[in-house]
Amino acid sequence: MANETVRRKRILSGIQPTGTFTLGNYIGAVRNWAKLQDEFDCLYMVADLHALTVRQVPADLRKNTREAAAMLLAAGIDPKQSILFVQSHVPAHTQLGWIATCNSQFGELSRMTQFKDKSAKHPDNVNGGLFTYPSLMAADILVYNADLVPVGQDQTQHLELARTIAQRFNSSYSPTFTMPEGYITKAGAKVMSLAEPTRKMSKSDPNVNSFILMTDDKDAILRKFKRAVTDCDGIVRYDVAEKPGVSNLMTIYSVFTGKDYDAITAEFEGKGYGDFKIAVGEAVADGLAPIQGEYKRILADKAYVDAVLAEGAQGASRIADRMVQKVYKKVGLLQL
């Protein structure tokens, strides 16, 4: 009986609505989110406020937000099991965001590598939000007392800041926030560019052959994989340092077939890279086909998507509003 009262650990994760997800988004994050639902209490958000650090076309942002939600549903997020919501629909994020910003040091924010990277990419728009958004990201996590946050290698710095803010607040006032831990998934955590396999796959890459979009049709997927950069060795073998292109393709193939690297090496022994690339493309296209079909079906039912998001916002707000009230009281804001 005692075990029945044990609270399941809570996970929070989010993805920005900046256009169609890539294969990298799917393998590195979204694919695993569906699997986590049976084990944890999951909150998944479309992080539209974070998208505003880069200038957005308003109509596109609205469209992309709904499409992101539809893709998450198609990829297996079950609104009966998890809370799926849009960040801006839960005002508690920005309410706690200001408290988190006031508990962040200037030096901590200025050391963030993503701030440096994005400032270099968008020198004409180095705005205050770009500088302080790690504080908002900390608030995203802390407002739900999330135990775990699925993180890629490029997000560990932001999680560290969230822990620092939580520790600082807990010490200054009284124990309030759970100390969030990173949850790093095993295989396929990072998918690299098909054109430059030493760089992460990104849809902002000007070379369209460097990334696979979740909505790409089979012909496009096969074409892009056929053009994927490999090496002159001609042997399918996993070695990230010496064979980054081939290793990246092996990672992708492993995710969609369930085969380990030794089995993949054995499968393509004596065969050329041409055969290997076609096999990877076929596996990806076949794996994405049912998700693409479900995505089209869900997206066509706008009322359903909006109803899921409205219900998600209510569920998220129930948790988050309680935390904001508690924090406001502790910092001395007058509560009526």
Cite the active site residues: 118, 200, 203
Q: Which two tokens stand for residue 273?
A: 């890279």
User: Cα Rg for the chain, rounded, in angstroms?
Assistant: 21
The answer to whether the Cα torsion of 139, 144, 147, 150 is positive or negative is: negative
Provide the H-helix boundaries in 183-301.
218-226, 244-257, 261-267, 273-300
Pick from 310, 289, 301: nearest CA to 216: 289
Q: Which helix (H) or strand (E) holds 43?
A: strand 41-46
Pick from 289, 280, 273: nearest CA to 218: 289
Q: Which two tokens stand for residue 315?
A: 């569920």
Query: Residue 22 has what DSSP assignment?
Result: B
Rounded alpha-carbon distances, angstroms, from residue 90 to 49, 87, 116, 143, 316: 11, 6, 29, 11, 7
Q: Which helix (H) or strand (E) holds 99?
A: helix 92-102
Mention every residue, 6+ apart, whose C-beta is less than 8 A from residue 262: none
Distance, in Å, from the CA atom of 18 to the CA atom of 56, rounded to the nearest integer, reads 9
Q: Which two tokens stand for residue 216?
A: 């790409």
Distance, in Å, from the CA atom of 6 to the CA atom of 248, rounded to the nearest integer, reads 40
Alpha-carbon 159 to chain mean position = 13
